A and B are shown apart, each in its own frame.
Chain A
Amino acid sequence: MRVKRKKGVAVPYLAWMIIFTALPLVLVIFFAFTNKDGGFTLDNLTGLGNYVSVFFLSLILAAIATVLCLVIAYPISFMLSRLRAGRQGILLMLVMLPMWMNFLLRTYAWMSLLEYNGLINRFLGIFGIGPFEMINTAGAVVLGMVYNYLPYMILPLYTAMVKISPSVIEAAEDLGAGFWSKLFRVILPLSKPGIQTGITMVFVPAISTFIISKMLSGGNIWLIGDLIESQFLGNAYNYNLGSAMSLVLMVVVLLIMSLTGGFDQEDIEGVI
């Protein structure tokens, strides 16, 4: 009804997103259901049966990393949300600062720390413990995931917790809630949106990574990401099979997101 409000300025964006976001996904689906000659086939998908163990391992490691992130991030997020406004900003910045370092470098840092002759083993050696085989284990991969994606858990948790008014917690105390009932009956339910977003934001990159596993397991541990990468750029080189793997990964991610309720739009904007 307004006079001459042109909407056409959104067209280039829309066109761009359709061609370079929607269309490529359609291609993934198309390649997943065709063979090298372009004929329809289900072989790619049925062929994934050989890789069930890889999918399973990815799922487990990503799940462990997500849970660890939640456990580690929850207290610090709550502490942050209770600080004075000025300090909140500074401390939040301190928590987020490592994330600004390129994640290859962050992961590389752990490579040297976890080595058999690395600093951690040398430090433990002072007390006569170890040395341990840390690098090239599943534990190292999980550690890498936790380290890289921890901020993705802290930020949405903090965003949700900041909205919990101190008077709500005081009211709970006033009504006789102790530490645990305060946590489980008040804070946890109120921070649920943050938990959901945090889980999604850690789990999705964790289950799809290929760099962390490559760098910290020395090629010993293969995740879905490594499989896909090897189909497109590695030795396996089979776009159709890689597309089928990608398709399954997308389905897994969608399932997880429908379980956790996906992203809260506001939280996403907060993270940006």
Chain B
Amino acid sequence: MVGKILKRVYVVLLFSFLYMPIAVLIAFSFNESKSRSNFTGFTLDWYAKLFRNEAVLSALLLSLVLALVAAAIATVLGTMAAVGISRMKRGPRTLIMNLSYIPIVNPEIITGVSLMLLFVVIKNLLGFLGPVADNIIGLPSLLIAHVTFNLPYVLFMVAPKLRAMDKNLYDAALDLGCNERQAFFKVVLPEIMPAVFSAFLICLTYSIDDFTISYFTAGNLQTLPIAIYSMTRKKVSPEINALSAIMFVAILAIILIANYREAAGERKKQKAAARARA
């Protein structure tokens, strides 16, 4: 009995710990005054202001474009790599896998500063090109950095799917008249597509969410997290709260939709299995 109450209390405390800050943040996005502790009245002004905030909007645009391009590049290269290593012997495969762990295990700040060093060195080496060299740090460096930290995730998500795939599927495609390219696009790719797609989504979210690595490689550009960072350092403004609320609702919607689709897929599978048994 005591144990049960203790359990309840613990769970309630834990979830309030997890959600209270977010709840307060969102609540105060509707606060009339700028106070972060006194709720004086309801307003949507901060949302209106946010949508007129040029800096935030352009940062949002940059983040979205950057995430899409970086995720696309990383997904293509990472999937190719997964296919390549599935055909390799153990030795070289382990080597590539271990290399891929570096950005995942390394502290983000190290990945950030090491890439920054690289870009600075490249910029200095290309100094004779004049202004072209100066443009390296900015969009190109940011894009490269994002592709770099996304790549291993694609590999780690797609490679197991390939391993789990019946090796005979590829052979069967060849047997039925596909050449290697056709066998990949007609049989292997459809088979691993769910993993490739989730990898792409994961890359998108990581890119949009990343602050630390972008911070060191963006030069003067502002991604959305960098914009948020500079907002938190300036004068207090409930615009941040409004932004938080919007982002939270957007994420919640995405997760709910993804979960719903997954659940629907599961149900469909179970139905199919039941029918096969009958």
Contacts and interface: CB of A to CB of B under 8 A. Distances in A.
Contacts of A18: 99
A68 to B, nearest CB: 11
5 contacts: A17-B102, A102-B228, A108-B244, A115-B37, A269-B160
Interface of A is mostly: helix
Interface of A: 2, 4-14, 16-18, 20-25, 27-28, 31, 72, 75-76, 79, 89, 93-95, 97-98, 100-106, 108-113, 115, 117-119, 122, 147, 150, 200, 204-205, 207-211, 215, 225, 228-229, 232-233, 239, 242-243, 246, 249-250, 253, 257, 262-263, 268-269, 272
Contacts of B243: 105
Contact of B81 (A2, A9, A98): A9
A208 B109 contact: yes
A6 B131 CA distance: 41
A113 B20 CA distance: 9
B48 interface: no
B107 A249 contact: yes
Interface in B65-114: 77-78, 80-81, 83-85, 87-88, 96, 99-111, 113-114
Interface of B: 7, 10-11, 14-15, 17-22, 24-25, 28, 36-37, 77-78, 80-81, 83-85, 87-88, 96, 99-111, 113-118, 120-121, 144-145, 147-148, 151-153, 155-157, 160, 180, 202, 205, 209, 211-212, 215-216, 224-225, 228-229, 232, 240, 243-244, 247-248, 251-252, 255, 259
Contact of B22 (A17, A98, A243, A269): A98
B15 to A, nearest CB: 7
A228 B21 CA distance: 29
Contacts of B99: 14, 17-18, 21-22
Given A16-B148, A109-B22, A249-B109, 7 more contacts: A9-B83, A21-B111, A24-B117, A100-B255, A101-B251, A102-B247, A249-B107
List the 10 closest pairs (A to B, CB-CB), nearest first. A10-B84, A13-B81, A208-B107, A24-B114, A109-B21, A112-B36, A9-B80, A5-B87, A9-B84, A109-B25
A101 B110 contact: no
Nearest to A8: B84
Contacts of A76: 10-11, 14
Given A21-B99, A249-B110, A253-B107, A13 B21 contact: no
A58 to B, nearest CB: 11
Classify the interface of chain B: helix, strand, loop or mixed: helix
A24 B118 contact: yes
A119 B77 contact: no
